[in-house]
Structure 1
Amino acid sequence: MTQSSETEKKDQKKQRGPGVFKVMQSILAGAFGVQSDKRREEDFSSHSPWPYIIAGILFTASFVVGLIVIVNLVLASQ
């Protein structure tokens, strides 16, 4: 490969935005408070915050629903 084609591939990769797996990793790491500064900077340099906002809302909602289910199961068993 030539230098210009490698540069073009890197530019295309940056324009596509974060993948689903990367967003999930960032959300979970942020929720547990173990995210590195390097990863946080990568997240904030992304073109759009919407994937992180949507994933954060979905994670929070599923976490709250999970807690409600667990509490109801514990209270029902008494």
Structure 2
Amino acid sequence: MHDTDKKEEKVSIWEVVKSVFAAMLGVQSDKNRQRDFKQSSMLPYILVGIIFVVLFVIGLIGLVSLIAPN
């Protein structure tokens, strides 16, 4: 194992959002996936994932309510 393998690369919140979005769409790159799994805390990924799912469901509900008559 090299010293560079032990180094934890800190990610910004924007990188977390991009990573979660790519993973939800199934297009996450292996390099980014490995970087994400090296992080010390998975909490930011969980929070962004929950927010993304909630917004997705609200968007679907809004879309269906526009299309389907009452």
Give the TM-score normalised by structure 2: 0.82
RMSD value over aligned CA atoms? 1.8
Larger Rg: 1
Following superposition, the deviation at residue 25 of structure 1 comes to: 0.7
* 1:22 is the counterpart of 2:33: no
Following superposition, the deviation at residue 32 of structure 1 comes to: 0.8
Which 4+ runs in 1 deviate beyond 3 A? Answer: none
Q: Distance in 2 between matches of 1:55 and 1:43?
A: 13
Give the TM-score normalised by structure 1: 0.74
Which amino acid in 2 is paired with 1:73? L
Structure 1 runs not aligned, ≥5 long: 1-10
Aligned pairs, number:
64
Aligned to 1:8: none
**Larger relative contact order (Cα-Cα within 8 Å, sequence gap ≥ 6):** 2
List per-residue Cα deviations over 1:40-76 (Å, max 9, x = no partner). 0000100100000000000001000100000001113
List per-residue Cα deviations over 1:2-57 (Å, max 9, x = no partner). xxxxxxxxx7x84xx42111001101100110111110000010010000000000
